[in-house]
A and B are shown apart, each in its own frame.
Chain A
């Protein structure tokens, strides 16, 4: 799409280039390249080593690896050459390197994980949490007077975290958990520091480590005051979000969940728009109401566990999963968790904080909020509500799906249609898109669940890009009103190209990421048994939502970018500058990568969703519903503990039997 951009770009005229932003960006980007190239080298190293054991295949491996290494370099050269000529050399090289790295990523992922003995370092996840957090604390000792140092340092820490997160993909994500790390934290309450990752959370963690540096880089030009605090908040937020995605102890999860709030609150409140304090407090209080009720539910589950197990306490996810709670109690616990998560998602009728928060938040805050933080709501529902209360989630699925379709997809789309502020429009479109994610989860089918997880990633990328691009135009005009623009495609052609790519991804045009996720969700809804008789209606409603999505996005695009360029202020607008372009390119590429190669992303997800689905179905089969009872009438006996399933305990890095996976990996290599 860089080539596409170059086609639409006019012949360079020096006065049009924003120019100045580049030299500041070059240092972190050089380091970015160095780190990621080093990482690529690391990824190659073990493959060669393994190859040397089997000398016959050795040359073949090296040959294919060499080709694999050469292709991205070629691609980089092509893209660097065809990139818009009005950009400086440094940023063209950077864009080429980003493209090449993503190409390497795709080619490495294509055959599945190739390492024969996935070396699961149990501390990897702790490093992922610890690096940004320690980096944030160390940042406090850096001098405030040198923003360049702060910028470079923050970027290095974030890219280091990104580099650290990529080895997560080197293991085959089956049905079970990986990178398990479990130590007692507060034995008096049975609280553990327990982190692990499965196919559900792995992409969300990588999404976090991928989006945060982009958001930070995008903010470097627009955030001027109190830059040190800004960097601190970003690093702290990243650590807390990663922590929330990987923690499997409910207590630990709650700690990270609350910890996330404070940096985001400060980001909205300090660097936000004119009405920022109202938005920040609204955001904080809304989220806190839900999360405190969840805290009470967590505590209550802990005490139920203590009662059932005869005195030992635990807040561990796997232990609490064994708990069989009578339905009339479970329903309350379910609602407490549900409230917390649907406020975060947000789902109708608790979505009102979102437009305010987005409108007032700075661009980077919006990107992170939309791309990652909202996912914590959908992730939390899938992980905790479905995982801990399968009967209740089955019982409520049909009703909640109705809310997701009517209140989320359709109402969100209609609200978005009527907005005259671009950012508010994108915020409401988030409500609609997350309606799809929730619908997929409620459907409980394989396709629906996989589509939902993939759609979480998709929404992160496409809406992240949309917020980024809205920020670009806001920085120039300091307004986001749709009717303040018109015809700006004439003065900002490259920007327009990017915006349209983001728009079609958001609408879900085939070939972009949005299509895959929405299609899977809708087809999963169509065949869902959990949704009862109305599954067809709900699928139709969701499909209608796609049409409405096209309507509101395209009408906005038409009003903003096309038509006559009649406003005097818009005639002087400069096109996207190199810093903004560098932030936008990786997201744009990922839109097409997911759009064309969804298998890469769905393979790790499939195992985890089939486990979740299987667990839920077996529990519902064991305790069948009784429609006449008040709370759905599933299990209604005393609280008791089920026996441990072999599968439920995460197996920590059992080196797989040497033959089978190695042979499979070998077959993959040969197959290429």
Chain B
């Protein structure tokens, strides 16, 4: 059983040991590399457990608090992988911007641990524990640049709204407990299936609260307001952590809660009515996110809105759950993988494009950079094209699989809205290319000077290889996401 729990154990023990090591040696230089090794090892443990399987292991001790099925193992491999890349990015970024402090890495570790618990949580209690572990780390990371007002502002906003949303979620779960007498998700499902729960207004209200809380965490419209400020204010590695691992954790939670507790279409008439609500949320999230993203002057803020938009795409997949069942969930899982590597890559290039005092933030900063630094421009184009969903990149397959699930779920209109929104999003991704390749910096304007960092380069190379591989040979990952989805949707 300890073997099955190894991802959690490796990460927790590794984090504590690193804290000690940092305290005793007082050196922060090698923390990022060692930290990323710990996270890669965690991811490898998750993968190993996946390959070995959990069939012969007695997990009844953990039930119902922690569920170690294929679904959570999938996230146990994915979440630390994203965090490991972020860790490498942080090494270069913090050094360059004189922010090098050991606690940054600890915060990454504990945030990741929180997301892993979140993906495995089978009970309202563990769910909230995981959520708070994750969120508190993320709040602190956002406000990490203490001297910058934007960073602190972003952190405060994120903290206030985040705690509010956690409270909503908690309230919703409490109401459900009041109706059914259960806090574990499986028990909730059974409780909702029987008795008078069908027509109980408290259930509807609770569902509304739970949905709002979840929408906050995945930054869906109309609860996305915090995201751009937090993403823009945070140090860029923290942004990439929020856009990848934290978002994936949020989706893991949303999928598990909705599918496990409310996913039985035979049980409740009202409570299984969430897919249409999610569909509306998704459509509004995508469209409004795209429209606002197109009007941004800052690339970082554009990427923040783009992260909102991508959350919307995944919500479309979630909305297709009603008809497409496990295919819909599998498409979200695969999308999360492709989105994680693409967005970390894009934000990583943004980190690489700036140096101390000359950070690349706005489009203007990037003017002509494709000419001065061809490799950097090429890498940025590659990741952005993946985000825009141009073949043959990872992002294209993510979108392909998602639209396929939607269409198979019998929602052609939703599919058409999704693909047409890709055109809108292509506009602002291409705008970066326009500035990088087709414009020159205005005379006298400060131009971004790329930094040099082996760690950032390593992270980008890994991300680029993943994007290319997922674009050309996505087979194994698709198999894995399908298997993970099937265990969840019985």
**A288 to B396 Cα, complex, angstroms:** 13
Which of B371, B385, B408, B438 contacts A277, CB < 8 Å? B438
Q: How far is the CB of A166 from chain B (nearest CB, A)?
A: 28
Q: B422–A292 contact, CB under 8 A?
A: yes
The answer to whether B423 has its CB under 8 Å from any CB of chain A is: yes
Chain B contacts with A in 206-244, Cβ cutoff 8 A: none
**A258 to B390 Cα, complex, angstroms:** 7
Q: B391–A266 contact, CB under 8 A?
A: no
Among A285, A289, A292, which residue has the most Cβ atoms of chain B within 10 A?
A292
Which of A259, A293, A303, A306 contacts B392, CB < 8 Å? A259
Q: B423–A288 contact, CB under 8 A?
A: yes
What sequence of 0s and 1s flags, for each residue 412-441 of chain B, a beta carbon within 8 Å of any chain A beta carbon? 100110011011001100100110011100
What sequence of 0s and 1s flags, for each residue 219-259 of chain A, a beta carbon within 8 Å of any chain B beta carbon? 00000001001000000000000000000000000110011
Q: A293–B416 contact, CB under 8 A?
A: yes
**A270 to B430 Cα, complex, angstroms:** 13
Q: A259-B392, A296-B403 are in contact. Are A270 and B437 (CB under 8 A)?
A: yes
The answer to whether B103 has its CB under 8 Å from any CB of chain A is: no
Task: Give the chain A neighbours of B416 by CB distance below 8 A.
Answer: 293, 296
Which of A186, A261, A296, A306 contacts B474, CB < 8 Å? A186
Residue of A nearest to B437 (CB): A270
The answer to whether B404 has its CB under 8 Å from any CB of chain A is: yes
Task: Give the chain A neighbours of B400 by CB distance below 8 A.
Answer: 189, 295, 299
**A293 to B416 Cα, complex, angstroms:** 7
Q: A281–B474 contact, CB under 8 A?
A: no
Q: A300–B423 contact, CB under 8 A?
A: no
Q: A186-B474, A254-B391 are in contact. Are A266 and B423 (CB under 8 A)?
A: no
Q: A292–B430 contact, CB under 8 A?
A: no
The answer to whether B479 has its CB under 8 Å from any CB of chain A is: yes
The answer to whether A11 has its CB under 8 Å from any CB of chain B is: no
Q: A303–B475 contact, CB under 8 A?
A: no
What sequence of 0s and 1s flags, for each residue 372-405 of chain B, a beta carbon within 8 Å of any chain A beta carbon? 0010000000000100001110001000110110
Chain A interface helix/strand/loop/mixed: helix
Task: Give the chain B neighbours of A270 by CB distance below 8 A.
Answer: 437-438
Q: B415–A299 contact, CB under 8 A?
A: yes
The answer to whether A302 has its CB under 8 Å from any CB of chain B is: yes
The answer to whether B407 has its CB under 8 Å from any CB of chain A is: yes
The interface on chain A, measured as residues whose beta carbon lies within 8 A of the other chain's beta carbons, has a size of: 34
Task: Give the chain A neighbours of B371 by CB distance below 8 A.
Answer: 226
The answer to whether A380 has its CB under 8 Å from any CB of chain B is: no
Instruction: Give how many A-B residue pairs fall within 8 Å (CB-CB).
Output: 88
Among B392, B403, B419, B420, which residue has the most Cβ atoms of chain A within 10 A?
B419
Q: A285–B438 contact, CB under 8 A?
A: no
Which of B390, B438, B475, B482 contacts A186, CB < 8 Å? B475
**A122 to B399 Cα, complex, angstroms:** 32
**A653 to B315 Cα, complex, angstroms:** 49
Task: Give the chain B neighbours of A269 by CB distance below 8 A.
Answer: 433-434, 437-438
**A300 to B412 Cα, complex, angstroms:** 8
**A229 to B400 Cα, complex, angstroms:** 30
The answer to whether B478 has its CB under 8 Å from any CB of chain A is: yes
Which of B420, B426, B474, B482 contacts A284, CB < 8 Å? B426
**A306 to B404 Cα, complex, angstroms:** 11
What sequence of 0s and 1s flags, for each residue 274-301 of chain A, a beta carbon within 8 Å of any chain B beta carbon? 0011001100110011001101100110
Q: A269-B438, A280-B438 are in contact. Are A300 and B426 (CB under 8 A)?
A: no
The answer to whether A69 has its CB under 8 Å from any CB of chain B is: no
Task: Give the chain B neighbours of A19 by CB distance below 8 A.
Answer: none
Q: B427–A285 contact, CB under 8 A?
A: yes
Which of B404, B430, B438, B475 contacts A187, CB < 8 Å? B475
Task: Give the chain B neighbours of A265 by CB distance below 8 A.
Answer: 430, 433
Q: How far is the CB of A602 from chain B (nearest CB, A)?
A: 35
Task: Give the chain B neighbours of A259 by CB distance below 8 A.
Answer: 390-392
Task: Give the chain A neighbours of B420 by CB distance below 8 A.
Answer: 289, 292-293
Q: How far is the CB of B146 from chain A (nearest CB, A)?
A: 40
**A196 to B479 Cα, complex, angstroms:** 29
Residue of B nearest to A295 (CB): B419
Which of B374, B407, B427, B430 contacts A299, CB < 8 Å? B407
**A332 to B404 Cα, complex, angstroms:** 17
Task: Give the chain A neighbours of B427 by CB distance below 8 A.
Answer: 281, 285
Q: B434–A277 contact, CB under 8 A?
A: yes
The answer to whether A188 has its CB under 8 Å from any CB of chain B is: yes
Q: A255–B415 contact, CB under 8 A?
A: no
The answer to whether A262 has its CB under 8 Å from any CB of chain B is: yes
Among A258, A285, A295, A306, which residue has the most Cβ atoms of chain B within 10 A?
A295
Task: Give the chain A neighbours of B475 by CB distance below 8 A.
Answer: 186-188
Q: How far is the CB of A360 from chain B (nearest CB, A)?
A: 11
What sequence of 0s and 1s flags, for each residue 188-211 of chain A, a beta carbon within 8 Å of any chain B beta carbon? 110000000000000000000000
Task: Give the chain A neighbours of B474 by CB distance below 8 A.
Answer: 186, 188
Q: A292–B438 contact, CB under 8 A?
A: no
Q: B423–A262 contact, CB under 8 A?
A: no
Residue of A nearest to B391 (CB): A255
Task: Give the chain B neighbours of A295 by CB distance below 8 A.
Answer: 400, 403, 419
Task: Give the chain A neighbours of B374 by CB distance below 8 A.
Answer: 229
Task: Give the chain A neighbours of B434 by CB distance below 8 A.
Answer: 269, 277, 280-281
Task: Give the chain B neighbours of A299 by CB distance below 8 A.
Answer: 400, 403-404, 407, 415
Q: How far is the CB of A397 from chain B (nearest CB, A)?
A: 25
Task: Give the chain B neighbours of A226 by CB distance below 8 A.
Answer: 371
**A289 to B420 Cα, complex, angstroms:** 7
What sequence of 0s and 1s flags, for each residue 300-323 of chain A, a beta carbon within 8 Å of any chain B beta carbon? 101100100000000000000000
Task: Give the chain A neighbours of B426 by CB distance below 8 A.
Answer: 284-285, 288
Residue of B nearest to A186 (CB): B475
Q: How far is the CB of B193 from chain A (nearest CB, A)?
A: 30
Q: A284-B426, A295-B403, A302-B404 are in contact. Are A255 and B392 (CB under 8 A)?
A: yes
Task: Give the chain B neighbours of A280 by CB distance below 8 A.
Answer: 434, 438
Task: Give the chain A neighbours of B408 by CB distance below 8 A.
Answer: 303, 306
Task: Give the chain A neighbours of B422 by CB distance below 8 A.
Answer: 288, 292
**A277 to B423 Cα, complex, angstroms:** 17
**A303 to B420 Cα, complex, angstroms:** 20
**A269 to B371 Cα, complex, angstroms:** 14
Task: Give the chain A neighbours of B430 by CB distance below 8 A.
Answer: 265, 281, 284
**A529 to B396 Cα, complex, angstroms:** 42
Q: How far is the CB of A226 from chain B (nearest CB, A)?
A: 7
What sequence of 0s and 1s flags, for each residue 159-190 of chain A, a beta carbon within 8 Å of any chain B beta carbon? 00000000000000000000000000011110
**A276 to B433 Cα, complex, angstroms:** 13
Task: Give the chain A neighbours of B423 by CB distance below 8 A.
Answer: 285, 288-289, 292
Residue of A nearest to B402 (CB): A299
Q: How far is the CB of B117 from chain A (nearest CB, A)?
A: 30
Q: B438–A262 contact, CB under 8 A?
A: no
Task: Give the chain B neighbours of A289 by CB distance below 8 A.
Answer: 420, 423
Q: How far is the CB of A635 from chain B (nearest CB, A)?
A: 20
Q: A293–B404 contact, CB under 8 A?
A: no
Q: B419–A303 contact, CB under 8 A?
A: no
Task: Give the chain B neighbours of A293 by CB distance below 8 A.
Answer: 416, 419-420
Among A226, A229, A280, A296, which residue has the most Cβ atoms of chain B within 10 A?
A296
**A255 to B412 Cα, complex, angstroms:** 22
Q: A258–B407 contact, CB under 8 A?
A: no
**A292 to B430 Cα, complex, angstroms:** 16
Task: Give the chain A neighbours of B438 by CB distance below 8 A.
Answer: 269-270, 276-277, 280
The 6 A-B pairs with the shortest beta carbon distances in the complex, nearest first, are: A292-B419, A255-B391, A269-B438, A303-B408, A188-B478, A299-B404
Show 14 residue pairs from A and B whose CB-CB distance is below 8 angstroms, ordered by the A residue.
Answer: A187-B475, A226-B371, A255-B392, A258-B396, A265-B433, A266-B437, A269-B437, A269-B438, A281-B427, A293-B419, A296-B415, A299-B400, A300-B412, A303-B407
* Interface residues in chain A, defined as those with a beta carbon under 8 Å from any beta carbon in chain B: 186-189, 226, 229, 254-255, 258-259, 261-262, 265-266, 269-270, 276-277, 280-281, 284-285, 288-289, 292-293, 295-296, 299-300, 302-303, 306, 332
Q: A269-B437, A270-B438, A295-B403 are in contact. List 8 more A-B contacts (CB 8 A).
A: A265-B430, A281-B427, A281-B434, A288-B422, A296-B403, A296-B412, A300-B412, A303-B408
